[in-house]
Structure 1
Amino acid sequence: FRSGALVTDFTLVRAGSLHKANGGFLVLRAEDLLQHPNAWEGLLRALRANSLRIEDGAETPDAAIRTKGINPEPLKLDLKVVLIGTEDLYEALVLNEDRFAKLFRIKAQMAERMDRNAAGVRFYLSVIARIAEESGLRPFDRTALAWLVDLGSHLCEDQRRLSLKFPLLREQMIEGDALAGMEGAEIVTGDIMERSYAARTYRANLVEEIFMEEYDREMIKVCTSGSAIGQVNGLSVTGYGDFEFGLPHRISCTVGVGHEGIIDLEREAELGGPIHTKAMMILKSYLTNLFARKKPLVLAGSLYFEQSYAGIEGDSASGAELVALLSALADVPVRLDLAFTGAVSHSGQIMAVGGVTRKIEGFFKVCARHGLTGSQGVIIPHDNVDHLMLSPDVLQAVEKGQFAIYAVRSIEEALTLLTGLPVGRRRKDDTFTPGSLYDMVDRRLERLGDYAQNSFRRTRKG
Structure 2
Amino acid sequence: MHEESWRTMFPDYSQYQTTLDHYSNLEPATVGTLQPRLSDAVRRFSALNLQPRILRITAPDNTLYRDYIIELIKKYQSQSNNNTSSSQTSENEHPIIIAGDDITAEKLFGAVYPALESNSLAKPSVKHGLLHQANNGYLILSITALLSNPSIWPRLKSVLMDGMLDWEAANKKVLCPLPAAEKVNVKLVIIGDRHLMAELDQAEPDLAAGFAMYGEFEQDLLLNESNLEDYLRYIKAIITHHKLPDLADTDAVTAMLCAGARYAEDQTRLPLCLLWHLNLLSEASIETDGKVLTATNIKASLRAKEYRESYLPERAIADIHHGQVLIASEGKEVGQVNGLTVVEMPGHPTAYGEPARISCVVHFGDGDISDVERKVELGGNIHAKGMMIMQAFVATALDLDQALPYSASIVFEQSYSEVDGDSASLAELCALMSALSSQPINQQIAVTGAVDQFGRVQAVGGINEKIEGFYKVCVHRGLTGNQGVILPKTNLSNLCLNDEVIEAIKAKQFHIWAIENVDEAIPLLTDKPFRSENDEDETILSLIEERIDYFHHGDLSNEIGLLNRLRLRISNWFVQN
Q: Does 1:26 align with 2:26?
A: no
* TM-score when normalising by structure 1: 0.88
Q: Select the residue among 316, 324, 343 that pairs with 1:211.
A: 316
Q: Does 1:222 align with 2:327?
A: yes
Distance 1:101 1:348 in 2: 40
Distance 2:550 2:370 in 1: 20
1:118 aligned residue: 225
Distance 1:36 1:21 in 2: 20
* TM-score when normalising by structure 2: 0.71
Distance 2:288 2:376 in 1: 52
1:410 aligned residue: 517
- Write out aligned runs for 1:248-263 (5 A): 248-259=355-366, 261-263=368-370
- Structure 1 residue 310: Cα displacement: 1.1
**Structure 2 gap segments, 5+ residues each:** 1-114, 569-577
C-alpha distance after superposition, 1:186-219 (max 9, x if no partner) = 2221111111111111111211111121121121
Cα 1:316–1:41 shift into 2, 3 Å: same
Q: Is the contact between residue 437 and residue 543 of structure 2 (CA under 8 Å) also seen in structure 1?
A: yes
Cα 1:36–1:269 shift into 2, 3 Å: closer
2:148 aligned residue: 35
Of residues 127-136 and 103-112 in structure 1, the stretch that sits farther from structure 2 once superposed is 103-112
Q: Select the residue among 393, 415, 434 that pairs with 1:327.
A: 434
Amino acid at match of 2:307: Y
C-alpha distance after superposition, 1:155-198 (max 9, x if no partner) = 120111111222022111111101222xxx62221111111111
SS of residue matched to 1:379: strand
Distance 2:509 2:410 in 1: 31
Q: Select the residue among 182, 195, 216 that pairs with 1:74.
A: 182
Q: Is the contact between residue 261 and residue 298 of structure 1 (CA under 8 Å) also seen in structure 2?
A: no
2:479 aligned residue: 372
1:271 aligned residue: 378
2:236 aligned residue: 129
**Structure 1 gap segments, 5+ residues each:** none
Q: Is the contact between residue 481 and residue 509 of structure 2 (CA under 8 Å) also seen in structure 1?
A: yes
Q: Is the contact between residue 219 and residue 272 of structure 2 (CA under 8 Å) also seen in structure 1?
A: yes
- Structure 1 residue 233: Cα displacement: 0.5
Q: Is the contact between residue 147 and residue 200 of structure 2 (CA under 8 Å) also seen in structure 1?
A: no
Distance 2:399 2:292 in 1: 67
- Write out aligned runs for 1:169-188 (5 A): 169-181=277-289, 186-188=291-293
2:173 aligned residue: 64
Amino acid at match of 2:225: A
- Structure 1 residue 221: Cα displacement: 1.0
- Write out aligned runs for 1:32-431 (5 A): 32-52=145-165, 55-56=168-169, 58=170, 63-65=172-174, 68=176, 71=179, 74-77=182-185, 79-97=186-204, 99-101=206-208, 104-142=211-249, 143-181=251-289, 186-240=291-345, 241-259=348-366, 261-426=368-533
Q: Is the contact between residue 296 and residue 449 of structure 1 (CA under 8 Å) also seen in structure 2?
A: no
Cα 1:332–1:25 shift into 2, 3 Å: same
Distance 1:5 1:422 in 2: 99
Distance 2:202 2:128 in 1: 33
Q: Select the residue among 532, 535, 539 that pairs with 1:436.
A: 539
2:4 aligned residue: none
Task: Give the count of matched residue pairs.
Answer: 445
Distance 1:363 1:338 in 2: 9
Q: Is the contact between residue 137 and residue 177 of structure 1 (CA under 8 Å) also seen in structure 2?
A: yes
Amino acid at match of 2:303: A
Cα 1:265–1:98 shift into 2, 3 Å: closer
Q: Is the contact between residue 261 and residue 301 of structure 1 (CA under 8 Å) also seen in structure 2?
A: yes
SS of residue matched to 1:63: coil
SS of residue matched to 1:197: helix
Cα 1:305–1:3 shift into 2, 3 Å: same
Cα 1:45–1:306 shift into 2, 3 Å: same
- Structure 1 residue 125: Cα displacement: 1.9
- Structure 1 residue 7: Cα displacement: 10
Distance 1:176 1:291 in 2: 56
- Structure 1 residue 82: Cα displacement: 2.4
SS of residue matched to 1:120: helix
SS of residue matched to 1:249: strand
Amino acid at match of 1:19: H
- Structure 1 residue 252: Cα displacement: 0.9
Cα 1:297–1:28 shift into 2, 3 Å: same
SS of residue matched to 2:275: helix
Amino acid at match of 1:16: G
C-alpha distance after superposition, 1:72-108 (max 9, x if no partner) = 662242x432222344444444444355456724333
Cα 1:415–1:95 shift into 2, 3 Å: same
Cα 1:259–1:76 shift into 2, 3 Å: closer
Kindly report the root-mean-square deviation, in angstroms, between the aligned alpha carbons of the 2 structures: 2.8
Distance 1:239 1:28 in 2: 31
Cα 1:188–1:108 shift into 2, 3 Å: closer
SS of residue matched to 2:221: strand
Distance 2:383 2:555 in 1: 29
C-alpha distance after superposition, 1:367-409 (max 9, x if no partner) = 1111112111111001111111111111121112111111100
Distance 1:5 1:174 in 2: 60
Q: Is the contact between residue 339 and residue 424 of structure 2 (CA under 8 Å) also seen in structure 1?
A: yes
Of residues 190-199 and 19-28 in structure 1, the stretch that sits farther from structure 2 once superposed is 19-28
Distance 2:144 2:417 in 1: 32
Q: Is the contact between residue 342 and residue 353 of structure 1 (CA under 8 Å) also seen in structure 2?
A: yes
SS of residue matched to 2:351: strand
